[in-house]
Structure 1
Amino acid sequence: MSFNRNFKAGKFHWSFLLPKYWGIWLALTLLMIFAILPWAIQWRLAERLSKLAWKVLKSRRKTTIRNLELCFPDKSEQQIQADAKQVFFNMMLGLFEALNAWYNPRWFQNRMHIQGLEHLKSAEGKGILLIGTHTTLLDAGGFACGSFFELDVVYRPQNNPLLDMIISRCRSTIYQNQISKDDMKGLISNLKHGHAIWYSPDQDFGLKQGVMAPFFGIQAATVTAHRRLINITKAAAIPLYFYRNGDIRNPQYHILLEPALKNFPSVDEVEDAIRVNLVVENQIKMFPTQYMWFHRRFKTRPSGEKSLY
């Protein structure tokens, strides 16, 4: 089903009660039940679901393994397999963490930590573009950030309007504003008004929106829209990373803010793309299996080069 622009994000429509949406309502009911389960049970369910996803999502599994092989060539086949399975586990655990952020936020009390908040304060009065990654923590990381400072998020609207409404409503308790990735006017306006916006320039959208630049030593299509946003709004570009450590007994959620990028953007968009890719690489290397490796990051290839997938 294609996304119908007549449906406004976050708004309920009576047509959502039609039979074609009943499956989503049933799934939503189950997810709300999952959200109130004890953490140990959520963890065990994530383990089981990740094993099921590993078997069923063959294309995602293949892409994850290939990405890890390309980005970590020194690892053995056994290490790559183990890391790929851990990615699937973190993906499933991230779903439960997002549910907790949406429906059971008190669970995160005394589990959140932040480092580098002074970098946000040093940019006070300016818009801030928070340069981050697509992490498997999903909205748990956003919730942790929102516990220390207000932030907007850039998102891709869901194709299903009911699903889009549900996610929009859940995220409204976490983010100050949700801005579609295609809403450049909204991004510019919010940055000019001094908002902090979480923006992840780490996916392959082709060369209409970017340039080729090395990512883990491999040429990859890298978006450059953030350069234009910063040029127009004079916003600060501050790297943002959040991650989980600990175990089933005591998970802890950490936010890391780094100093604003200096002399950014420059006059060279390729050099800027290389610089941002290095920021993302350094973030990923901290906890590699908490990154969404199941996206085809190297889908676009230089002219004449064969597909890596």
Structure 2
Amino acid sequence: MLGRIGIALAVGFLKFLAVLPYGITARFGDGLGWLLYQVPSSRKRVVHTNLRLCFPDWAPERREEVAQQHFRHAIRSYVERSVQWFGSAKKLEKLIEVDSAVDLSDPNLPPTLFLGLHFVGIEAGSIFLNYSLHRQCGSLYQPFSNPQIEEIAKTQRARFGADMASRADSARIVLRWLRDRKPVMLGADMDYGMRNSAFVPFFGIPACTLTAVGRLAKAGHAQVVPFIGEVLPNYKGYRLKILKPWENYPTGDDVADARRMNELLEEQIPLIPEQYYWVHKRFKTRPPGEPGVY
């Protein structure tokens, strides 16, 4: 009962934040992130470990600066679920600018896998991409441990016409969506364990990386279009950056195809390093015989 009451109060608070001016909500999230960064935590250690592994040449001061900025962005992104989940379409239109190399209004858009990269604006980017396509889409999600929270998240993420499916049950569903010419949104740049994965370099570190994207693209005769949700400076909102479809992809080599994604991340992360999702244990799964890093 207490859990239900707590969730109801949290949802009520998010709905309240959604009606406030965005700048107030964003500044509240930023301030909360700054405050929580002052407290020692396992997630703070994860951020520092990831930055140390991926950017060994950085000075400690640079690493500390980016770690704090990222922590503030990460906490802010959770607070801004309020606007993303409960804000009106009109409000989102004012907050999110679209920079797309693909014509999202094309009625003849070929079967497409929209590959979301895990920058802190991925939630805003995914929801607004669904809205901008003006058609039924498919979207994969990672299940929550709490079924109530999962149901709320599914409902709000689907509010502009997305069919939702758990990542664990996805392959057959994704292929059906692609056959029906539904664009599909998914993320693959996280450590989901060794199933359907391979160890692929990520900033020179072997990272457990999903190989499913290439196989789904091949089986579904689909193009792969990466996208990034970027947080704009000065609390101005977001930029949904949709990149060009990958050429000569998939190659049929699962490891090479997975490496393509990591190479793209290695190009994009240095542009806004504080916005990549460093709180995730990207190197949690280690190659046989190698010690854990966290």
Partner deviation per Cα, 1:94-115 (whole Å, 9 max, x = no partner): 2233211222233333333223
Equivalent residue number for residue 164 of structure 1: 150
**For 2:96, which of 112, 116, 127 is the aligned residue?**
112
Shift of 1:120: 5.4
Equivalent residue number for residue 44 of structure 1: 27
Equivalent residue number for residue 292 of structure 2: 307
- For the pair 1:238 / 2:205, whether they are aligned, the reply is no
Q: Which amino acid aligns with 2:188?
A: P
- For the pair 1:294 / 2:273, whether they are aligned, the reply is no
Partner deviation per Cα, 1:155-196 (whole Å, 9 max, x = no partner): 012121111121122112145221210122211111121121
- For the pair 1:154 / 2:137, whether they are aligned, the reply is no
CA 1:137–1:270: 2 relative to 1, 3 Å: same
- For the pair 1:66 / 2:49, whether they are aligned, the reply is yes
Q: Which amino acid aligns with 2:276?
A: Y
Equivalent residue number for residue 257 of structure 2: 272
Equivalent residue number for residue 218 of structure 1: 205
Equivalent residue number for residue 80 of structure 1: 63
Partner deviation per Cα, 1:110-132 (whole Å, 9 max, x = no partner): 33322334365789353211122
Contact 1:142 1:175 in 2 (8 A): no
**For 1:140, which of 124, 134, 147 is the aligned residue?**
124
SS class of match (1:213): strand
- RMSD over aligned CA atoms reads 2.2
Please report the TM-score for the alignment, with normalisation by the length of structure 2.
Answer: 0.90
Looking at structure 2, the residues matched to 285 and 102 of structure 1 have their Cα atoms a distance apart, in angstroms, of 29
Please report the TM-score for the alignment, with normalisation by the length of structure 1.
Answer: 0.86
Contact 1:91 1:137 in 2 (8 A): no
Q: Which amino acid aligns with 2:71?
A: F
Q: Which amino acid aligns with 2:147?
A: P
Looking at structure 2, the residues matched to 201 and 254 of structure 1 have their Cα atoms a distance apart, in angstroms, of 21
Equivalent residue number for residue 6 of structure 2: 23
Unpaired runs of 5+ residues, structure 1, are: 1-17
Number of residue pairs aligned between Structure 1 and Structure 2: 290
Contact 1:130 1:237 in 2 (8 A): yes
Identity of aligned residues (%): 29
SS class of match (2:94): coil
Looking at structure 2, the residues matched to 193 and 256 of structure 1 have their Cα atoms a distance apart, in angstroms, of 25
Contact 2:141 2:167 in 1 (8 A): yes
Looking at structure 2, the residues matched to 78 and 43 of structure 1 have their Cα atoms a distance apart, in angstroms, of 26
Shift of 1:141: 1.6
Contact 1:63 1:293 in 2 (8 A): yes
**For 1:203, which of 170, 186, 190 is the aligned residue?**
190
SS class of match (1:294): coil
Contact 2:116 2:186 in 1 (8 A): yes
Shift of 1:223: 0.5
Contact 1:90 1:137 in 2 (8 A): no
- For the pair 1:253 / 2:238, whether they are aligned, the reply is yes
